[in-house]
Amino acid sequence: MTQNRLFFFDTTLRDGEQSPGCSMTIEEKLTMAHALEALGVDILEAGFAIASNGDFAAIDAIARAVRGPRITSLARALRQDIEVAARSLEHAHRSRIHVFLASSDIHLKFKLKITREQALEQTDECVRLARTYCDDVEFSPEDATRSDPDFLRIMVSTAVEAGATVINLPDTVGYTTPEEYGAMFLRLQEQIPALENVILSSHCHDDLGMAVANSMAAVEAGARQIECTINGIGERAGNASLEEIAAILHVRKDKYPLENGLHIERLYPTSQALAKCISFAPAPNKAIVGNNAFAHEAGIHQHGVLANPLTYEIMTPESVGVPHNRMVLGKHSGRHALAHRLSELGYKLSMHDLEAAYHRFIELADRKKSVYDQDLIALVPAHLRRGVEPNEGIRSIGEPIEGSVA
């Protein structure tokens, strides 16, 4: 299906929650569901209804309370799973049943212990069953990237003929590369003309650190739905990160001229909301939403950003909901950043005084991991400090120096 609209399928509450340390209560899931609704995701996978009574209740609660995104429940290619998923979605304004069945021989033989022929029969039967409950059915051949290409083609064709409206090709174990993943999408579209009438979707895991790159390769090859999670949480090394993909589409519109419904200024608040619900925040160096994503310590970088933020920032922090960038003063910082922070504190130094203060600052920063506002004020010549009250906003002891640039 050729179109200029890219749909965001968020699976934070299903695949993301399966990550160790990411379990959420029903109330926390509802909080996140409303945050994802405000963010503007198109499809919200609320859980795996058959997995537990708690998951069923969470999906039901979200289906009743959230009206923006299409609400989805995962289901194995089993009658009971599909029936329970359908019941959990009864109160949804718009719903989807997401059916999956392994397509790789290693999964069929060792996990499911069924033949290829049995897998095809299950695919046909269960997609048709799901369509009796819901007019929007997604089918995922699990472990697609390690599947025999000919068998994958047959399974996908079977699902489309049975009524699947979305075909997802998951890189379940994070095995593939961008070139391979994109080629798989192109090959199947050439082999199966009926795919023109369905939406193709990507679902990538980050075991080799390529989930986002693989997802973008799928988009280039015709996928118009991306399955992803906030902060990239998910099984093992996680899923493709929603905020990274959203930022790519924002910054590189020249390469990806696709529309989407996200309000990207909600990216950072949504990331923070998730961090409060689970047991950890994003790593400091996490792109877009990490604590250091818009922080600068090196003197050359600080000088450039103070002159024009575009020298070292390819997007404004405000565009993704981060309040401002940060100047972190440490041993790599330069005179411009030191002068900037002292000015914020109320001290205007001459070039001579600044040079003396800077040399003392570098000696101090070599000895301390963190330099504080109190340390900086002590570097100011006594005749300038006499009778001067520092500006409000001074950092207390124990809080490293950080400044912002408007």
Residue 128 pLDDT:
98
Residue 317 pLDDT:
87
Instruction: Give CATH superfamily name and number for 7-277.
Output: Aldolase class I (3.20.20.70)
Query: Is 329:376 a contact under the CB 8 Å cutoff?
Result: yes
Q: Mean pLDDT throughout 258-272?
A: 97
Q: Mean pLDDT throughout 196-219?
A: 98
Which secondary structure element, helix H or strand E, spans residue 31, and what is its range? Answer: helix 26-39
Distance (Å, whole) CA 224 – CA 172: 19
The band of 398, judged by pLDDT with boundaries at 50, 70 and 90, is very low
Residue 198 pLDDT:
98
Domain with CATH 3.20.20.70 in the chain: 7-277
Pick from 131, 78, 134, 71: nearest CA to 101: 78
Distance (Å, whole) CA 121 – CA 127: 10
Query: Is 72:44 a contact under the CB 8 Å cutoff?
Result: yes
The band of 29, judged by pLDDT with boundaries at 50, 70 and 90, is very high
Beta bridge partners of 96: 72
